[in-house]
Amino acid sequence: MWGGRFAQGPSAIMREINASIPFDKALWRQDIAASKAHVAMLGACRVVSGEDAVTIRDGLDAVGAEYEASGVPEDWDLEDIHMTTESRLAQLIGPVAGRLHTARSRNDQVATDFRLWVRDAIDQAEAGLQALQVALVMRAGEHADSIMPGFTHLQTAQPVTLGHHLMAYYEMIGRDRSRFHDARKRMNRSPLGSAALAGTGFPIDREMTAQALGFDGPTANSLDSVSDRDFALDYLMAASQCALHLSRLAEEFIIWASQPFGFVTLPDALSTGSSIMPQKKNPDAAELVRGHAGRISGCLVSLMMTMKGLPLAYSKDMQDDKPPVFEAAGLLALSIAAIAGMVAETKFRTERMRGAAELGFATATDLADWLVREGDIPFREAHHITGAAVKLAESRGVALDQLPLDDLKTIDSRIDERVFNALSVEASVAARKSHGGTAPDQVRLRVAEARAALGLEG
């Protein structure tokens, strides 16, 4: 395609290091679509004849049909998907194929194809995340009243409801979706027609190709258009943040499934056995989601390092932009699907969770709050009194609400029998009805809002 000024062909090493076809063949659909939009525009603008434009369009369809039927051939001599397609087109329709590359370069071509690909990846992630949110909301609705220990430092802190805990992830995933949405909006401009770097002297219509490809309009600067990959980085940043969230939920499933916790029974379909220990049921899918978060953020760092310090305009380093994005997209799609399956199918062992909430003096704050409310005692003093009560209960091996009233009274005479109404885990969660708090009524409100936002009936 470019041999005119060369006396010698490339060495074997040159061909191998240069070839991107092994991975950028994944862009074939976008490449055909962008080429069809380009040639239709060239025809409409009379840069090529209407007849040639139709011949080329039909030829592109034929190449696409071949790829669909038998895959994209990998010939290193043809470097990349763009040259592979153009070369096959020439075999099919003859020299008129050479008119397709008028007023464009592989630089704007790859920038266009890659944007289209990332845009599709965003749409795919969005759909998966919406399904995950639906699963979270359904399970949260079932468990608005189910009590579990809430933790800080993974130490029992205060009782919460399982519905509240699940809705925390609903919120995180909602912000992840909005990050993808922002990235999509920002990247949705067409670089096509920027040509190699400076634009073109042919009378082209960039609005027309932008519209044909679903972009909001053409990009404003040809140098920027062929040089930046911030759209891919935006995607990888959103993907990394999302993967971090998924990894935290994965980790909770792993902890909850361990025998000392026993909070959940993970679905068999998303677990594996051990080849030596017959009793084992391992949370491998959750562990891999946790692991994939590391690889996905590695992809982000990889592309950031590729782009760092590159002068304008295109440099071949940028060919390395695709593998990390393709890798991250595949890992993210799997992670979202695995977590959604776990959320939907996991059996929550609510009696175990409630039992654990009874341990660890989870309602100690409720005793302190009661002293503040009923005894008009400053919170710091109430905290101290409660500490003494916890110490006593601990030494006797009983829960706070199992201490006899007389013993509580020796700690502080202002305590009376009404305190027991505040010390149960049910009373504790029911009391926390501040906006966004863990009280079952609050959780039901949030679930109803979420169902409406997701377009679920009722």
Instruction: Name which of 103 and 318 has its Cβ closer to ligand ARG.
Output: 318
Q: Is 383 a catalytic residue?
A: no
Is 24 a binding residue for ligand ARG by CB under 6 A? The answer is yes
- Nearest CA to 393 out of 195, 223, 385, 248 is that of 385
Map tokens 């030829």 to a residue.
59
Going by the DSSP 8-state scheme, the letter that residue 153 receives in this structure is T
Is 319 a binding residue for ligand ARG by CB under 6 A? The answer is yes
Question: At its nearest, how many Å lie between ligand ARG and the CB of residue 309?
Answer: 17
Is 107 a binding residue for ligand ARG by CB under 6 A? The answer is yes
Instruction: Name which of 320 and 345 has its Cβ closer to ligand ARG.
Output: 320
Tokens representing 444?
């039901």
Q: What is the DSSP string of 244-291?
A: HHHHHHHHHHHHHHSTTT--EE--GGG-B--SS-TT--B-HHHHHHHH
Q: Cβ(196)–Cβ(225) under 8 Å?
A: no
Is 20 a binding residue for ligand ARG by CB under 6 A? The answer is yes
Question: At its nearest, how many Å lie between ligand ARG and the CB of residue 27?
Answer: 9
Question: At its nearest, how many Å lie between ligand ARG and the CB of residue 2?
Answer: 9
Among 25, 38, 104, 106, binds ligand ARG (CB under 6 A): 106
Interaction residues for ligand ARG, span 80-99 (CB under 6 A) = 80
CA dist 435 → 164, 365, 432, 445, 458 (Å):
12, 19, 9, 10, 22
Is 177 a binding residue for ligand ARG by CB under 6 A? The answer is no
Strand ranges in 136-237 using DSSP code E only, listed in sequence order: 147-152, 155-161
Cis amide leading into 313 (omega within 30): yes
Annotated catalytic residue within 70, 153, 413, 434: 153
Number of chain positions touching ligand ARG (CB under 6 A): 10
Annotated catalytic residue within 49, 258, 274, 315: 274
SS3 of residue 50 by DSSP: helix
Question: At its nearest, how many Å lie between ligand ARG and the CB of residue 19?
Answer: 9
Among 169, 314, 348, 361, binds ligand ARG (CB under 6 A): 314
Q: Cβ(346)–Cβ(266) under 8 Å?
A: yes
Q: Is 153 a catalytic residue?
A: yes
Cis amide leading into 196 (omega within 30): no
Active site residues: 153, 274
**Binding site residues, ligand ARG, CB under 6 A:** 20, 24, 80, 106-107, 110, 314, 316, 318-319
